[in-house]
Structure 1
Amino acid sequence: MSQATSNAEEFRSLYQTYIESCNARDYEVMKSFYASPVNVMDKRQEPDDIIARCKLLFESFPDWKWEVRHMVIEGDYMTVRFKDSGTHQGEFRGYQATGRKVETTEVTLYHVVDGKFTEIWPLIDFDTVVEQIK
């Protein structure tokens, strides 16, 4: 087995555990995947900052779920395309809860070093979410 294949399998396994912890709201496990500090969109943040942002999202969409649709691994970088979905149960970007189900697309690039996310570049189509709750 080549190093690239081994690395890809390791990253897939790592990410499966991570996304399961996100969908289960297991914040301690989620935090264990982030380096400290971690660069998010080229801004240094602590793992607790990322968790706090996730909690805000979950206040608006308590059943928010990430579903991996595609993953590309190259060296120590991993790109993941998701289907994100949830039910609008709390204020989001100025819109009060509507009870509407929403769905959108996300693509996130991760830099993984020693099993930790050291850099994250998330691109989430929240404009589509807003269109669905207007």
Structure 2
Amino acid sequence: MTEAPVVGEVTAQGLRRLYLDYIECLNRRDGAALGNFVHAEAEHNGTRIGLSGYREMLKSDVAAIPDLFFDVRMILCDAPFIASRLHFDCTPVGLLFGLPVNGRRVRFDENVFYEIEAGRIRRVWSVIDKDTVRQQIE
């Protein structure tokens, strides 16, 4: 059996483990542990939000979607990058992406890409399928 490819000191297997641990942290709502996974200078879709902004973003997401659960459907690792497809089956309490969901159950996907720096998520690029949500509430 060949060993996992190494880029610097990061293996694809190591990135996968880091990502799954990060998702587990999100699903536990463990804001205190988030710094183990997210870089202090984190960026989201090109905007520097830092670790504190990242925490606030997730807190806001949970307030809008109390049953938020990150369901990993696909992970691809090519150090220092991770690509993932996440599935959501949830019941937002009010607006979601500016759409009046108001307690209706919706299902949608997110394609998200991460760049890892110094063992933590430094950059995130997220694309959410908002049209699917729109179709479900019309």
Query: What TM-score results when the alignment is normalised by the length of structure 1?
Result: 0.86
Runs of 4+ more than 3 Å apart: 2-6
The RMSD of aligned alpha carbons is 2.1
Give aligned-pair identity as a percent.
26
Partner of 1:17: 21
Q: Is the 8 A contact 2:42 2:48 kept in 1?
A: yes
- Counterpart of 1:3, as a letter, is P
Give the whole-Å Cα distance in 2 for the aligned partners of 1:133 and 1:31.
36
Deviation at 1:35, TM superposition (A): 1.0
Q: Is the 8 A contact 1:84 1:103 kept in 2?
A: yes
Partner of 1:95: 100
Match status 1:75 vs 2:116:
no
SS at 2:100 equivalent: coil
Query: What TM-score results when the alignment is normalised by the length of structure 2?
Result: 0.84
Comparing 77-86 with 1-10, greater Cα deviation is found at 1-10
Give the whole-Å Cα distance in 1 for the aligned partners of 2:50 and 2:81.
20
Structure 2's unaligned 5+ residue stretches are none
SS at 1:54 equivalent: helix
Give the whole-Å Cα distance in 1 for the aligned partners of 2:65 and 2:45.
23
Partner of 2:62: 58
Give the whole-Å Cα distance in 2 for the aligned partners of 1:2 and 1:96.
44
Deviations 1:49-78 (A, max 9, x none): 122122222112100111111111112111
Deviations 1:67-113 (A, max 9, x none): 1111111121110111122112234326262x221111111111112
Deviation at 1:33, TM superposition (A): 1.2
Size of the aligned set, in residue pairs, is: 133
